Amino acid sequence: MSLLDRTRAGFAAAFGTEPEGVVFAPGRVNLIGEHVDYNDGLVLPMPISVGTAVAWSHAPGDGIEAVALNLDGARDIFKPNEVQPHSPADWRSYLRGMAVILAERGIRPGGLRLAISGSIPRGAGLSSSASLCVALCRALIAADRTEPLSPRDIALAAQRAEHEWAGVKCGIMDQMAIAAGEPGHALLLDCRDLAIQHVRLPAKWAVVIVQSGVSRGLVDGHYNARRRECEAAAKALQVASLRDASIAMIAAAQFPDPVARRARHVVSEIERTRTAVAAIKAGALVTLGMVLRASHASLRDDFEVSVPAVDQLVDLMNAAIGPRGGARMTGGGFGGAVTAVLERAAVPTLRAALEQNFSAPDGSPLNLMIEGNGASPGCNL
């Protein structure tokens, strides 16, 4: 049964009636450009086939009743004009935030029943929170029968929900990739002006996502601390953001540790993103692989957002892939998924190496997804 069918059935079971509609928003994997979105940098994410579905129907009154099908049927009931952020932050925080934010734009968020379900593994670094926010936005717009918002406006509304209602000072990459991305394409996003370019992946390449078995979180302070360190570096350099800095400027500034390393990662990662786009357009898989490996090393050593279990998985995958491609951690860090780009024909070899040599720290079975242009999307092996 597909995610949409499961969500539709879950709505019927929870509320005793069929929904009027079901919407979907994908997750995303970031090929390169990590922790540069909130520094006005360049990023290269792509939407993936797993994501979040929301079934909706009108209901009497002006309140919202929602059920989280993946969370044992947990419910939230509130009136958007009276609600406060949920504490501690969880799925209800995003739901309430999106309802209030859309109400400010004249979209009537009340008088609704919602059933929410997702296929993104929690804590995997594939942006389940942004997927949830975009899916909720699409459901509330569909229920109001109003004109759709632009992908940019949807992304900005979803980012506000993260900032103001969940306490995560994230950049705009995840929301834009989910709201504006196209299947089979990476999305080159300029996080300064939100200009986008769809970069088609060669049909003979595959994007492979492997769960490390280490769940991660962002609201534990690590993410916000890295952002503060980057902002401190930009302020000291007297630039609007690290997008305007250079390696030479960072070296001359003689920042204390770890600020210098944080800034060095951001500046070098933006340049690696440019190189990656050129490599994809040229079909230069060897070059792309080298850039992906360098990105992981920078995230591990300069930005310090990887963990040993993820490093070991990256090393195992890179050894199995060889020079034609590469692997790196993806997402905010501290666990989650590893992504790789390689020839589609080489995927069985990579899978065999993982089946023989990889053991997830949490004891979970190997979870490998294949995405890309021409692949069988969302294939869990």
Is the pLDDT assigned to residue 377 strictly greater than 80? no
Q: Which of 215, 199, 195, 19 is nearest to 128 (CA)?
A: 215
What is the average pLDDT value for the chain, to the nearest integer? Answer: 93
Percentage of the chain beyond pLDDT 70 is 96
Distance CA(52)–CA(55), nearest Å, equals 10
Which residues form the catalytic set? 174
The torsion angles phi and psi of 110, rounded to 5 degrees, stand at -95, 175
Burial class (CB in 10 A: 0-12, 13-18, 19+), 148: exposed
Asked if residues 162 and 373 have their Cβ atoms less than 8 Å apart, the reply is: no
Mean pLDDT of 72-100: 93
For residue 353, what are its two tokens? Answer: 């190496």
Rounded to the nearest 5 degrees, what angle is found at the Cα of 325, between the Cα atoms of 322 and 330? 115
A 10 A CB-CB count for 17 gives: 11
pLDDT digits (tens, 9 = 90+) for 110-165: 899 999 999 997 767 788 999 999 999 999 999 998 788 999 999 999 999 999 99
Residue 375, pLDDT above cutoff 80: no
Q: Measured between alpha carbons, how far is 32 from 62 in angstroms, rounded to an integer?
A: 43
Q: Is residue 48 scored above 60 in pLDDT?
A: yes
pTM score > 0.75 for this model?
yes
What domains, with CATH codes, occur in the chain? 3-197 (3.30.230.10)
Beta carbons within 10 angstroms of residue 60's beta carbon = 6
Least reliable range by pLDDT among 14-28, 166-180, 236-250: 166-180
Q: From CA 46, how far away is CA 288, in angstroms rounded?
A: 16
Q: What is the pLDDT of residues 318-350, one digit of tens each?
A: 999 999 999 999 988 888 899 999 999 999 999
Question: How many Å apart are CA 147 and CA 218, to the nearest integer?
Answer: 34
Summarised one tens digit per residue, pLDDT across range 270-312 is 999 999 999 999 999 999 999 999 999 999 999 999 999 999 9
| Tokens 């109001």, located at residue | 144
Q: What is the pLDDT of residue 127?
A: 86
Q: What is the pLDDT of residue 217?
A: 55
From the list 85, 91, 163, the residue with the least C-alpha distance to 128 is 91
pLDDT at 378 > cutoff 60:
no
Alpha carbons 311 and 290: distance in angstroms, whole number: 16
